[in-house]
Amino acid sequence: MNGKHVLKVLSNLITTVLFIVLILTLFLVISTKASGGEASLFGYQLKTVLSGSMEPDIHTGSIISIKAVENPTGFKKGDVITFQTEEDILITHRITEVNDSGNQYITKGDANDAADRDPVNAANIIGTYTGFTIPYVGYVMNFANSSEGAALLLVIPGVFLIIYAGVTIWRALRKIDPVKKEVNTDTK
């Protein structure tokens, strides 16, 4: 393989990566805004973990996948659920006890010393944790949810793509210019 072929392959790879990043970022931002702040993919919601209450299984700054529930009374001890508090805060904790025929649950964060103060009503359960987590991506998701973050995450890949296209065009024009000079000197 010669140097020009390697540069061409590298150039195509960079262009592809920039396009993929731009498309994924666009999808992420639109999906997040359309769903009211949390991205959804194939029926699974992606939630950002903001505390260490479920460590070491779920780390702060991770994103987790939850599946919406149809029957919020079918959980058992040991299940990890995501529920909404009276203060409209989403919490993901493990069920430690089932009360009132499955209509109320006592929950606790794995890293917490004590159970949660208030029992969780079945009607407040948003979904169940699927076991899928990606560490540290939650920080990016939170940033993408802000107006500045959404704009920045769309603008940066676009700017890099435009700069890269400009450099590619400039290189192509430099290759054409010597050929033109050669043609002009041959015809005189």
Question: What is the set of active-site residues?
Answer: 51
Angle, vertex CA 25, rays to CA 134 and CA 20, nearest 5: 95
Say how far apart CA 58 and CA 30 lie, in whole Å.
26
- Bridge partners (DSSP) listed for residue 67: 44, 128
Exposed / middle / buried, residue 22 (Cβ in 10 Å: 0-12, 13-18, 19+): middle
Task: Report yes or no: 66 and 47 within 8 Å, Cβ to Cβ.
Answer: yes
* Phi and psi based region of residue 135 (left: phi greater than 0; alpha: psi -120 to 50; beta: remaining): beta
